[in-house]
Amino acid sequence: MRPGALTVGAVNGAALLLSLAGFGATLWYGVDEPGNALAFGTLIALGELARWGAAPGEREPAPLAAAGALAYALLGTDAGTATTHGVLQIVAVVVAGGLAGIVPHLARGGGPGTDHLARRVLTVAFAALCFQPLYNSGAVVEHLGQGPSYAFFLLLLLVLTALCDAVLAAVVLRARTGFPFGPLLRDELRALLGIGSAVCATGAVMALAVAAAGLWALPVLAVPLLLTQVSFRRYAAVRTVNRQTIASLARATEIAGCTPPGHAHRVAALSAAVGRELGLSGAELTVLEYAALMHDIGQLSLVDPVEGGATALLPVEEQRRIALLGGEVVRRTGVPAAVAVVVERQADPYREQPLPARIVRTVNAYDDLAGDGAGAALEALEQLRLGTARDYHPDVVESLARVLARGGAAGVTSAVAG
């Protein structure tokens, strides 16, 4: 068994054992404050029902459920009355509410993966373990009171919980994909500034509001996060449409017979995998993917098409001319200027290129040379290694070799999906 599979299995196994312990303890000792448990369990279930399918860049598809779970973990009093629920009951309520909310999604074949559920259980348990023993012992109220210091304490716990979740998510992705841990963690931390910050803030405010006003505060505070979720969903839809538009433009070279079918999408998928391997993340990967999709669009300006669309076999000056033509076309499409720069510079000597252009050039050459069959792929990779003196950056070629050894872009995609 691969070490990555062991890591993922350990994370999921720990979440499962914790969930079983939570249900067992709750069934044995009974439910403390059933009204609170029912209210927060219902909120979590509704949040899961309102989830949307996770698309690239969407770290938290069920923000209301996440905020409700954090609020229950940080709940010390209900309308001034001290609560007595413990860590294991919190885990049981969060798991029960989450399972109730995802059943309809599972029935439609669109439920969340086990990694997401495991992270939810472990991070909520972490927050509850940091808060409940201190609060129940009276140490928090004794030293901080119920004023701004208490609110700051909750905020600090939420920051630690968010960091724990980010590290856990990066560890799981590292195990599944083999990508470097640093860029993955950086992606997760950047995501905290978006919907993650709204989730943490709402969770803290919910806990404080229920402590002061009771459970009636929950539906009032759930509305802003739902509106934020709708806005974020529309933004994600716009991004999806933009990517589909660029993908359609990339197919123009195939429709015109300039490049083989699927060439642009193969180069884009493999370039993204190599970019991850080399530490690119976030917006850099987006620019890389768009440039890879449109890297051959300059061929539309040629009077005589390149045989087989294999620009890697052309003289250097001809490659540069096509690249400049492609950059000019890209600039007219409204795509970010950084994409046009990568397209324009993909044929420059690699010492003068930015990293995304080095990746596109190397991966394009590999796809042009590889053809069908393992033998042709190995021969193409060897030709790239021979060209590292001038044409292809050695680090990019070796990163491409590692990605191919793991199964190429298809292997990466299946790992992420799993």
Residue 377 region, left (φ>0) first, then alpha (ψ -120 to 50), else beta? alpha
In this structure, the answer to whether residues 147 and 200 fall within a common structural domain is yes
Residue 309 region, left (φ>0) first, then alpha (ψ -120 to 50), else beta? left
Distance between the two ends of the chain, CA-based, in angstroms?
A: 16
Q: Give the model's pLDDT for residue 1.
A: 46
The DSSP line for 137-170 is TTHHHHHHTTSHHHHHHHHHHHHHHHHHHHHHHH
Q: Give the model's pLDDT for residue 41.
A: 92
Assess if residue 69 is contained within a domain: yes
Assess if residue 300 is contained within a domain: yes
Residue 355 CA, distance from chain mean position: 22
In this structure, the answer to whether residues 134 and 264 fall within a common structural domain is no
Q: Give the model's pLDDT for residue 363.
A: 92
Q: Give the model's pLDDT for residue 112.
A: 67
Determine which of 36-50, 92-106, 301-315 has the lowest per-residue pLDDT on average.
Answer: 301-315
Cβ pair 76, 135 in contact under 8 A? yes
Work out the pLDDT band at 126, boundaries 50, 70, 90: very high
Domain end point (choices 184, 218, 239)? 239
Residue 411 scores a pLDDT above 50: no
Q: Give the model's pLDDT for residue 95.
A: 93
Q: Give the model's pLDDT for residue 308.
A: 64
In this structure, the answer to whether residues 201 and 283 fall within a common structural domain is no
Per the prediction, the chain carries an average pLDDT of: 82
In this structure, the answer to whether residues 34 and 70 fall within a common structural domain is yes
Higher pLDDT, 175 or 406: 175
Higher pLDDT, 337 or 141: 337
Residue 72 scores a pLDDT above 90: yes
Domain end point (choices 239, 273, 299)? 239
Work out the pLDDT band at 264, boundaries 50, 70, 90: confident
In this structure, the answer to whether residues 56 and 161 fall within a common structural domain is yes
Query: Could you tell me the residue range of the domain that residue 66 belongs to?
Result: 3-239
Assess if residue 348 is contained within a domain: yes
In this structure, the answer to whether residues 413 and 279 fall within a common structural domain is yes
Higher pLDDT, 324 or 334: 324
> Which of 322, 341, 340, 342 lies closest to 331, judged by CA?
340
Assess if residue 356 is contained within a domain: yes
Determine which of 53-67, 325-339, 355-369 has the lowest per-residue pLDDT on average.
Answer: 53-67
In this structure, the answer to whether residues 261 and 118 fall within a common structural domain is no
Q: Give the model's pLDDT for residue 159.
A: 87
Q: Give the model's pLDDT for residue 380.
A: 85
User: Quick one: average pLDDT of 291-306?
Assistant: 79
**Rounded to whole angstroms, how far apart are CA atoms 162 and 157?**
9
Assess if residue 194 is contained within a domain: yes
Cβ pair 89, 96 in contact under 8 A? no
Which residue type sits at 407? G
In this structure, the answer to whether residues 269 and 365 fall within a common structural domain is yes
Residue 249 scores a pLDDT above 70: yes
Residue 320 scores a pLDDT above 50: yes
Assess if residue 59 is contained within a domain: yes
In this structure, the answer to whether residues 167 and 304 fall within a common structural domain is no
In this structure, the answer to whether residues 209 and 271 fall within a common structural domain is no
What total number of domains does the chain contain? 2
In this structure, the answer to whether residues 223 and 117 fall within a common structural domain is yes
**77-78 vs 81-82, strand pairing mode:** antiparallel
Residue 383 scores a pLDDT above 70: yes
380: CATH = 1.10.3210.10
Assess if residue 152 is contained within a domain: yes
Q: Whole-model pTM? A: 0.74
Q: Give the model's pLDDT for residue 56.
A: 42
- Give the number of other Cβ atoms within 10 Å of residue 300's Cβ: 17
In this structure, the answer to whether residues 47 and 189 fall within a common structural domain is yes
Residue 265 scores a pLDDT above 80: yes
Higher pLDDT, 309 or 124: 124
pLDDT above 90 coverage of the chain, percent:
21
**Rounded to whole angstroms, how far apart are CA atoms 359 and 346?**
8
Domain end point (choices 214, 239, 264)? 239
Q: How far is CA 375 from CA 271, 309, 351, 401, in A?
A: 21, 21, 30, 14
Assess if residue 221 is contained within a domain: yes
